[in-house]
Amino acid sequence: MTSQKAAPAPPDRHSPAKRRKAQDGRRALLLLSPGVLWMTLFMLLPLCMVVYVSFWTQTTFAVEPTLTTDSWRQFLGSPTYLTAIGTTLRIWAIVLIATLIIGYPVALFIGLFVRNQTVQTALLVACIIPFWTSFLIRVIAWRPMLGTEGAINLILQKLGLIDAPLTFLLFSEFSVLVGMTQIYCVFMVGPITFMIARIDGSIIEAAQDLGASFGTIFRRIVLPLSLPGVVVGSIFVSVMVLGEFATAASLSGRKVNLLGNIIVSQVGSLKWAFAAVAGVVLTIIIAAVITLALRVVNLRKEM
């Protein structure tokens, strides 16, 4: 009589490990649900609605839910709107570079040369003191500084550096650049300072013991390790500058027309379809800029 081997018992689907895994999955889904619901209701659906409205038929003072591409053709075929896109990109690039040139040395000093955390915190708080006042007050405060009878012109004339007031300082693209750089520079300083402060001091000390100069230490250690902060700061500055309209309207005297100003003016004229087209174009530009920035550094890996 031959003996037969018993077939292996099927895996227990109700084992403690599988039950624990299923519970973890349900718990993760439960924790993610509020955020997913919030993003769907207040970001995804509004974006879809803006894209949908951009294809509506625009009349003089109203829109009709009849799909057409007339608004897109008018927007992309208008020199005014295309110039606004170019102006927006130019101001964004200049402000981004200016905030990086000004903000990086400040962040380098706070994060690398100031090792006392209390002093670091005090210096960072000093950087954000202007944000304790209203945004409009900070913008309008540049008018008495940059005007023909403002503080800068008066100082330059007192020093004998100029004979007549400089008229390009206010109500020009220059004043918009100055205002935006001052307002958004702190958003570049914060992330870079955070990343530089995380650098282990023993690494820099080892490099110094090996005879590395400050330039070599900065190029091979500090700069690579601070790149995630540069990318995060660039994203912060880019998102806010590309969507700006108040600074340009206040400091340029309506001479600088950004995409944000077009959206505001079109909404005020009840031209919802044109405003939606400008909003979609602006969203595409911001998404492209963020995607490009995230390709420079893998933030998930670096941070």
pLDDT, residue 124, reads 87
Q: In the chain, count of helices (H) and strands (E)?
A: 17, 2
Mean pLDDT of the chain: 88
Once rounded to an integer, what is the mean pLDDT over residues 170-176? 92
8 Å CB contact between 111 and 197: yes
In the structure encoding, which two tokens stand for residue 192, read together? 């870079």
- Is residue 267 within 8 Å of residue 228, measured between CB atoms? no
pLDDT of residue 92: 96
Give the separation between CA 164 and CA 205, rounded to whole angstroms: 53
292's tokens: 């490009």
> Quick check: 273 and 56 in contact, CB under 8 A?
yes
| Close Cβ partners of 106 (under 8 Å, ≥ 6 residues apart) | 127, 189, 193
Of 53, 73, 74, the residue nearest 63 (C-alpha): 53
Residue 65 lies in a domain: no
Using CA atoms of 259, 104, 188, 193 in order, give the dihedral in degrees to the nearest 10.
170
d(CA 235, CA 296): 12
pLDDT in tens, 109-158: 999 888 888 898 899 888 888 888 888 888 888 998 998 888 999 999 99
* Three-class SS state of 12: coil
Dist CA 109 CA 89 (whole Å): 30
**Could you tell me if residue 142 is inside a domain?**
yes
- pLDDT value of residue 135: 84
State how far the Cα of 7 lies from the Cα of 188, in Å rounded to an integer. Answer: 66
The answer to whether residue 6 sits within a structural domain is no
Q: Of the ranges 2-11, 162-171, 203-212, which one carries the lowest mean pLDDT score?
A: 2-11
Q: Over pLDDT 90: what percentage of the chain?
A: 55
Residue 284 in domain: yes
Span 229-239, average pLDDT: 94
Q: Is the pLDDT of residue 1 over 50?
A: no
pTM score of the predicted model: 0.87
Residue 199 sits at φ, ψ, to 5 deg, of -65, 130
Strand 63-64, strand 57-58: pairing: antiparallel
Residue where the block lists tokens 């380098």:
108
Q: What is the CATH number of the domain that holds 260?
A: 1.10.3720.10
What confidence category does residue 303 fall into, taking pLDDT thresholds of 50, 70 and 90? low
Encode pLDDT of 27-49 as tens digits.
888 888 998 999 999 999 999 99
Percent of the chain with pLDDT over 70: 94
271-292 pLDDT, tens digit each: 999 999 999 999 999 999 999 9
- Whether residue 44 is contained in a domain is answered as no
Model confidence at 201, in pLDDT bands (50, 70, 90)?
A: confident
Q: 3-state DSSP call for residue 210?
A: coil
Q: Give the containing element (helix H, strand E) for 58.
A: strand 57-58
Give the range of the structural domain holding residue 101, as residue numbers without chain letter.
79-302
Number of domains in the chain: 1
pLDDT tops 70 at residue 10: no
- 5 inside domain: no
Q: What is the pLDDT of residue 9?
A: 52
Question: Has residue 195 got a pLDDT over 60?
Answer: yes
Per-residue burial over 211-225, b if 16 or more Cβ lie within 10 Å, else e, is: ebeeeebbeebbeeb
Give the C-alpha separation, 223 to 204, whole Å: 12
Residue 31 lies in a domain: no
- Give the span between the Cα atoms of 127 and 58, in whole angstroms: 46
45 belongs to a structural domain: no
| Helix, strand, coil shares, percent, the chain, to 5 | 75, 0, 25
